[in-house]
């Protein structure tokens, strides 16, 4: 029987090279698997800690709101999330809001965000707005009496790891934003540097206009009021507010040539009374 010829020197080198290449390939393959597994474990931990754990700790309550045991805030959110978390004192907080709603007050709900929560300011503002909307929808608050605004907050050391407050509420008595007297109506703009009115006030203005529909050919006067306290607002602000109301009048059939605009200032300790528009008919 013929003997198997021994490996040549070059054959041996080639053989060893193939063996080492196979070992390197397997090492890279195993490292890739380990990296993928580590990434999956990190993702699962993040999902559990930020989204699932609060739900597992929660109790059943108001739909859309997660009740978290031992949370020392009545209402809170976690970093980058718009899911409301209810803690100690939430029942009293909820009762206070619903009481304000039943009394007909106008509510300004402020949603807060931190600059690093989302990749852009636009997405951060959308997150803050969603936080407010989720509360409104979950608590079934009358949205006709609500104005929503969003503001940025300064980051502190705890907000990325612990729940934080991200909703602010300001209540305004109806008499502060709406006054009626025969052929005169006065509406005030709840938000500083804003020309938005809650739907409730627009509805009240439309109802008042309907009650004076027989006077569309009379002369209509609109006076925009600017804030004269502290750093005074410009007359342009007052004029812009007057023009907002003017557009509503025109939509209701009052002819533009019968509308007269003017501006003025007011100094009142209740600053919302300095952001008003008065409409009267002669």
- Counting DSSP H helices and E strands in the chain, the numbers are 7, 12
Half-sphere exposure of 98 (CA within 13 A, CB side): 11
Q: What's the CA angle centered on 171, arms 166 and 177, to 5 degrees?
A: 130
Residue 126 and residue 47 in one domain? no
Residue 94 and residue 134 in one domain? yes
How far apart are alpha carbons 82 and 91 in whole angstroms?
A: 20
Burial 42-63 (b: 16+ CB within 10 A, else e): eeeeeeeeeeeebeeebeeebe
How far apart are alpha carbons 114 and 136 in whole angstroms?
A: 21
Residue 137 and residue 200 in one domain? no
Boundary residue ending a domain (151, 172, 193):
172
The CATH number linked to 160 is 3.30.1330
* Residue 278: strand pairing partners: 186, 223
Domain encompassing residue 103:
66-172
Residue 143 and residue 104 in one domain? yes
Instruction: Kindly provide the residue ranges of all beta strands, DSSP E only, lying in 33-166, ordered along the sequence.
Output: 58-59, 66-68, 75-76, 85-86, 106-114, 146-153
Q: What's the CA angle centered on 39, arms 34 and 40, to 5 degrees?
A: 95
Residue 160 and residue 189 in one domain? no
pLDDT in 10s for each residue of the chain, 282 residues = 444 445 465 555 455 556 555 655 555 555 555 666 666 666 665 555 544 444 443 333 355 788 888 899 999 999 999 999 999 999 888 888 777 766 678 889 999 999 889 999 999 999 999 999 999 888 888 788 889 999 999 887 788 888 999 999 888 888 899 999 989 999 999 988 888 898 989 999 999 999 999 998 999 999 999 888 766 677 788 999 999 999 999 999 999 999 999 998 889 888 889 999 999 999
Boundary residue ending a domain (121, 138, 172):
172
Crossing angle for the helix pair 90-102 and 121-139, nearest 10 degrees? Answer: 80
Domain total of the chain:
3
- Domain-embedded: residue 13: no
How far apart are alpha carbons 99 and 202 in whole angstroms?
A: 23
- Domain-embedded: residue 15: no
Evaluate if pTM is beyond 0.85.
Answer: no
Boundary residue ending a domain (153, 172, 191):
172
């Amino acid at each position: 029987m013929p003997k198997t010829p021994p490996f040549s020197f070059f054959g041996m080198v080639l053989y060893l090279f193939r063996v080492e290449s196979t070992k390197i390939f397997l090492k890279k393959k195993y490292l890739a698997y380990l990296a993928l597994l580590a990434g999956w474990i990190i993702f699962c931990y993040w999902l559990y800690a930020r989204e699932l754990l609060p739900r597992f700790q929660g109790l059943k309550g108001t739909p859309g709101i997660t009740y978290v045991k031992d949370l020392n805030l009545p209402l809170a959110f976690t970093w980058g999330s718009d899911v409301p978390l209810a803690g100690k004192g939430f029942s009293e907080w909820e009762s206070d809001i619903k009481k304000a709603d039943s009394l007909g007050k106008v509510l300004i709900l402020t949603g807060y965000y931190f600059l690093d929560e989302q990749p852009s300011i636009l997405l951060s503002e959308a997150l803050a707005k969603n936080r407010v909307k989720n509360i409104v929808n979950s608590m079934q608050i009358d949205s006709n009496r609500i104005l929503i605004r969003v503001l940025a907050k300064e980051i502190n050391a705890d907000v990325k790891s612990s729940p934080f407050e991200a909703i602010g509420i300001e209540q305004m008595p109806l008499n502060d934003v709406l006054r009626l007297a025969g052929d005169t109506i006065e509406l005030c703009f709840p938000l500083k540097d804003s020309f938005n009115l809650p739907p409730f006030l627009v509805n009240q203005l439309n109802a008042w206009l309907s009650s004076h529909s027989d006077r569309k050919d009379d002369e209509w006067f609109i006076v925009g009021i600017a804030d004269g306290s502290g750093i005074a607002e410009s007359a342009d602000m007052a004029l812009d507010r007057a023009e907002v109301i003017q557009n509503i009048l025109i939509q209701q059939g009052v002819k533009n040539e019968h509308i007269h605009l003017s501006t003025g200032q007011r100094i009142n300790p209740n600053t919302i009374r300095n952001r008003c528009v008065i409409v009267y008919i002669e």
